[in-house]
Amino acid sequence: MLNRLHPSLSISLLVRNALLCISGVAILMACQTGEVDNMADTPLQPAVIASADADTLAALKTALSGALGRANITFGAGDLTANPTITILPPPPNPNETHSVAMPTMFDLYLGEDGACYAIQRGKQDKITLDGVACRPA
């Protein structure tokens, strides 16, 4: 087929296809992200809370509700002392709503080199220091 095309057309066709391939690869590379990449200065390891007593859960709720900007939060099902992921349920629909498309918010727990416990919301990079919450390695 290239033999039948004018030589300048075959070169422009090749250049156009090459540019399309290069731009496709560039777009795919731009979409790659890491969850904890920008925190290389503080090595973190996955963690779970050490105890699920009332004081620890209250401190955890206080820190995470502040991060979400909500006064009240409800933890999803699961053992917080065994799973490094914390699920926060969405608020219930108000009386004027028939259903809600809200999704739960997920946080991963990490233990820093300094012994502090941190939560990082999935899809974000900000570390939330969990004061009053003791963690242990997962």
pTM of the entire predicted model:
0.65
pLDDT of the residue at 98:
84
pLDDT at residue number 110: 96
Task: Quote the pLDDT of residue 91.
Answer: 87
Query: C-alpha 128: how far from its chain's center?
Result: 13
Give the pLDDT of residue 43. 84
C-alpha 95/C-alpha 105 separation (Å) is 22
**Average pLDDT, consecutive stretches of 10 residues, N- to C-terminus, the chain (138 residues):** 56 59 46 38 86 93 92 90 94 86 93 92 91 92
Residue type at 109? L
Per-residue pLDDT at 65: 92
Domain ranges of the chain: 1-32, 37-137
